[in-house]
Amino acid sequence: MATASMEDYLERIYQLIEEKGYARVSDIADTLEVHPSSVTKMVQKLDKSGYLVYEKYRGLVLTAKGNKIGKRLVYRHELLEDFLHIIGVDENYIYRDVEGIEHHLSWDAIDRIGDLVQYFHEDERRLKALQEHHKTPE
């Protein structure tokens, strides 16, 4: 079972590989705002746990397990951003709020949030009605 920190690294590694085709320790360190030595330690831990294969000075590759989890973590993050946007959370807070809650929700809760997001996207009138409700003074 991946820890919250391991999930953050897997999510970011997956995104970097999707964007650039590779993920280097320096890129991971820059985007997560941590020291390269911290990245190296975590990458070694992820390697030992079977999420990726790491060769010093050669780079890293996600295993099938790491790729599957990375993809699911990115989905969770994007879904929660979408959900917070739908319910009217200020854009300036969405990323920080998602980072604060994403590791504390069960996958069952994520699936239910996904159902709700889908419900609003299936009919734009629902979304507009919710947005109007936000504008209504109490």
- 6-62 pLDDT, tens digit per residue, is 999 999 999 999 999 999 999 999 999 999 999 999 999 999 999 999 987 778 999
Per-residue pLDDT tens over the stretch 103-121 = 999 999 999 999 999 999 9
pTM over 0.85: yes
Domain residue ranges of the chain, discontinuous segments joined by +:
4-68, 74-135
115 marked as part of a ligand binding site: no
11 marked as part of a ligand binding site: yes
As a whole number of angstroms, the distance between CA 58 and CA 47 comes to 14
Domain 4-68, what fold? Arc Repressor Mutant, subunit A (1.10.10)
99 marked as part of a ligand binding site: yes
4-68 shares its CATH topology with 74-135: no
77 marked as part of a ligand binding site: yes
Pick the CATH number of 74-135 from 1.20.140.10, 1.10.3470.10, 1.10.60.10, 1.10.357.140: 1.10.60.10
3-class secondary structure per residue, 15-81 = HHHHHHCCCCHHHHHHHHCCCHHHHHHHHHHHHHCCCEEEECCCEEEECHHHHHHHHHHHHHHHHHH
